[in-house]
Structure 1
């Protein structure tokens, strides 16, 4: 996993083109005014824009992806994201439509990442994660963009 502020996007110039397209999209000035839903960016790269209230950790399951990495970017608000390494092959048979499998316990020690407005986290296949968790500090609606990059 990578966590950083979008102002440091140039540090990641060595990542594949799909990530360059994702980071360029996340530097747009109008992200806060975009409607919730899907935005196609390029072949194999699209964004899901959402607005929601963060929830306690016990109200969500871990997500696991197989074909796409997530670039999770908080536009407004703040939240915790919990990440835990896992073996994607352990979850492939549980995959739901849309490149996602859910589980309660990935079987490894999790890390907690604090995402605030302007920060992003790149979560790779093989990293189970619980996004959208209350950090106990921010009260309100989080606006978030998750760019999916085919890997």
Structure 2
């Protein structure tokens, strides 16, 4: 997991200098705040940005997820939310897998897991979740709120190929 403010390029640009990272983050910087709800292709079919809204909720109602073949860049356009993070090796499951998308769902082990890390993403901040990193988004930050968010899905193969 990696978190930063989108406008503070000097913090993240040395680490995220590959063309795929640069194009993904440039799309967020220049398009996310004005984009309509929907999906935007950034290159090949599986590389895209999805702009969506939802109401944040109590942690018990939220779902742990991970991906095996894609990286998530989750960027908050407006409002804020809490996201929990933990390696999938510390979670139980997967409890559910999906045939049509790269997503697995998990649950916290009854005993023996360390406490997850918690981040609060506010407008203008992003977090990167790598394959097999469990993350539990949509958690309210103090009170339930409508959040607008962009999530970029980067196929791992794009970074491996070059």
By the TM > 0.5 criterion, same fold?
A: yes
**Helix, strand or coil for the counterpart of 2:3?**
strand
How far off is 1:36 after superposition? 1.5
Return the TM-score normalized by structure 1: 0.87
Cα distance change of structure 1 residues 93 and 131 upon mapping to structure 2, 3 Å threshold = closer
TM-score (norm 2): 0.81
8 Å contact from structure 1 (residues 74, 142) kept in 2: yes
Instruction: Find 1:145's aligned residue among 126, 138, 150.
Output: 150
Alpha-carbon offset, residue 62 of structure 1: 0.4
- How big is the shift at 1:32? 2.9
**Are 1:114 and 2:108 matched, yes or no?**
no
Q: Secondary structure in 2 aligned to 1:112?
A: strand
Larger Rg: 2
Change (3 A) 1:93 1:141: closer
Aligned residue pairs total 148
User: Which digits, 9 at most, give the CA deviation of each residue in 1:46-105, with x for residues without a partner?
Assistant: 111111111111001100101111000000001001111124xx8579431210011112
Confirm or deny: 8 A CA contact 2:94 2:106 kept in the other structure. no
Q: 1:1-150 to 2 correspondence within 5 Å?
A: 1-10=1-10, 11-15=12-16, 16-28=18-30, 30-43=31-44, 44-87=46-89, 94-96=96-98, 97-105=100-108, 107-136=113-142, 140-150=145-155
Unaligned runs of 5+ residues in structure 1 are none
Shift >6 Å, 4+ stretches: none
